[in-house]
């Protein structure tokens, strides 16, 4: 909640540099409402790093709108450090960080007309952006896990497989529906950037939104929460629509529609995946006979139960059951599955099969063990799928 409030407050402040107070306020509210369209209500990673990214963009914007302010380079340096911290949450912010860094370097070059000073600033900004990553890498190297850090953070993303075409198209259409209405604001801000060339904040914020979109396109994946980084810059570019009566109607209609649709999505997620009562019911079942839990497919939050065992150093369920993760985890998934089952976990959690996405050989191995040594002790029926808990007999 604090991260969302902070991001919205920054968007409001930034919005007042390209629109009036009412337009900026509605744009900030729009950001909050949009999160529920893409599973942001549960605290996905972008909900947190959007605050760092927005703060970094706001620092540079401050130097643009107040050019006579002291220490503009210091603001840019702090902005790059914030991007460095955001990268520790997820590296997908790298494109926006590069954009802000290059923009700051370009401003420095145009102001001083000195190549050596511009290069010095570029090196300084790059160092600030990389500093948190280098510090974390040095820490893992010091404790003997430098290679694992490199693999997990840099190599593994390129080793993931590709989702089936049908699933990819479905996810692309879902993201397009969520973001397309916001493109009206992006076009309006881009038009104002051309019309008001003497006010560079319009161009700066338009470029930020475009770079954020390009970053999502570059990484692909298309999971619903991948749209979350787009909502801050795209909601902000909607603020100038308030200058026109049709734009006001569009923003208010969009805010109402997004708010209602978002609440419907939250309700649907609860019915589909369960809520606090569902989670407590699962915990109560497992508390009847405490023992190790292996979540092959299901809510990772079950690993937060009081009785936990380090059965594997790959506790994210997708590393086992998702076909596209089979070669991206640094482990032989079948061998790791056999090793986990050899530990004889007290509980195994599964869901209904996912024919297009699931690794069938791993599922077959899991259910050979379940059918031989486990019994069903709990089932949650969602709208389209079920969650099962099996206990060892």
DSSP string for 145-163: -HHHHHIIIIIHHHH----
Q: Residues 119, 173: one domain?
A: yes
Residue 294 pairs with which residues in a beta bridge? 348
Q: Are residues 52 and 66 in the same domain?
A: yes
Q: What is the pLDDT of residue 68?
A: 67
Spatial separation of the C-alpha atoms in residues 78 and 93, rounded to whole Å: 16
- Domain's final residue, options 270, 292, 311: 270
Among 218, 249, 270, identify where a domain stops: 270
pLDDT value for 309: 86
pLDDT of residue 279: 92
Please check whether residues 302 and 189 belong to one and the same domain. no
What's the confidence (pLDDT) of residue 71?
63
Q: How many angstroms separate the CA atoms of 74 and 76, rounded?
A: 5
Tell which residue, 301, 264, 228, 215, has the closest CA to residue 44. 228
Residues near 42 by Cβ (< 8 Å), separated by ≥ 6? 269
Q: What is the pLDDT of residues 201-222, one digit of tens each?
A: 999 999 999 999 998 888 776 7
Q: Are residues 124 and 266 in the same domain?
A: yes
- Whether residue 216 sits in one domain with residue 188: yes
The pLDDT assigned to 61 comes to 94
Picking from 219, 249, 270, the residue at the C-terminal end of a domain is 270
Tell me what pLDDT residue 218 has: 84
My answer on whether 281 and 213 are in the same domain is: no
Do residues 126 and 83 lie in contact, with contact meaning Cβ atoms separated by under 8 Å?
Answer: no
Integer Cα distance of 385 and 99 in angstroms? 42
In a shared domain, residues 60 and 76:
yes
Is residue 91 within 8 Å of 229, Cβ to Cβ? no
**Residue ranges, the chain, pLDDT below 50:** none
Same domain membership, residue 332 and residue 266: no
Residue 367 CB neighbour total at 10 angstroms: 16
221 and 293 both lie in a single domain: no
Coil, strand or helix at 302: helix
Whether 347 and 257 map to the same domain: the answer is: no
Nearest-angstrom CA–CA distance, 391 and 215: 44
d(CA 41, CA 267): 11
Query: Residues 186-189: contacts with CB within 8 Å, 24+ apart?
Result: 186/210, 186/234, 186/237, 188/237, 188/238, 188/240, 188/241, 188/247, 189/18, 189/237, 189/239, 189/240
350 in the same domain as 244:
no
CA distances to 59, 66, 73, 75 from 69, in Å: 12, 6, 10, 10
Same domain? 123 vs 232: yes
Q: What is the pLDDT of residue 72?
A: 67
How many separate domains does the chain show? 2
Domain that holds residue 358: 275-392
Please tell me the predicted confidence (pLDDT) of residue 221. 65
């Amino acid at each position: 909640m604090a991260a969302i409030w902070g991001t919205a407050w920054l968007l409001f402040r930034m919005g007042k540099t390209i629109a009036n107070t009412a337009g900026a306020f509605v744009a900030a509210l729009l950001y909050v409402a949009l999160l529920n369209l893409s599973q942001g209500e549960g605290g996905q990673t972008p909900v947190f790093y959007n605050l760092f990214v927005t703060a970094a963009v706001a620092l540079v914007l401050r130097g643009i709108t107040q050019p006579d302010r002291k220490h503009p380079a210091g603001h840019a340096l702090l902005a790059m450090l914030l991007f460095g911290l955001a990268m520790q949450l997820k590296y997908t912010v790298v494109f926006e960080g590069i954009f802000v860094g290059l923009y700051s370097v370009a401003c420095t070059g145009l102001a001083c007309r000195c190549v050596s000073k511009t290069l010095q600033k570029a090196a300084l900004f790059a160092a600030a952006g990389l500093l948190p990553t280098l510090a974390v890498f040095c820490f893992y190297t010091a404790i003997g896990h430098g290679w694992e850090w490199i693999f997990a953070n840099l190599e593994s993303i390129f080793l993931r497989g590709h989702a089936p075409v049908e699933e990819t198209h479905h996810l692309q259409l879902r993201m397009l529906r969520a973001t397309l209405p916001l493109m009206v604001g992006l076009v309006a801000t881009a038009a104002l950037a051309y019309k008001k060339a003497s006010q560079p904040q319009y161009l700066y914020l338009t470029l930020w939104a475009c770079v954020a979109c390009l970053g999502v396109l570059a990484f692909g994946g298309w999971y619903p929460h991948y749209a979350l980084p787009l909502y801050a810059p795209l909601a902000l570019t909607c603020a100038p629509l308030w200058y026109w009566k049709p734009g006001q109607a569009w923003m208010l209609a969009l805010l109402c529609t997004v708010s209602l649709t978002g609440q419907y999505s939250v309700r649907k997620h609860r019915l589909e995946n369960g809520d606090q009562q569902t989670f407590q019911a699962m915990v109560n079942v497992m508390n009847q006979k405490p023992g190790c839990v292996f979540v092959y497919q299901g809510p990772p939050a079950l690993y937060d139960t009081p009785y936990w065992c380090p059965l594997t150093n790959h506790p994210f369920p997708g590393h086992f059951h998702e076909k596209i993760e089979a070669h991206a985890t640094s482990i032989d998934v079948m061998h790791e599955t056999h090793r986990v089952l050899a530990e004889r976990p007290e509980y195994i959690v599964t869901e209904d099969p996912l024919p297009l996405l699931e690794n069938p050989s791993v599922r077959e191995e899991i259910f050979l063990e379940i059918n031989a040594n486990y019994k069903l002790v709990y089932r949650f029926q969602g709208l389209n799928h079920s969650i099962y808990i099996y206990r060892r007999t």
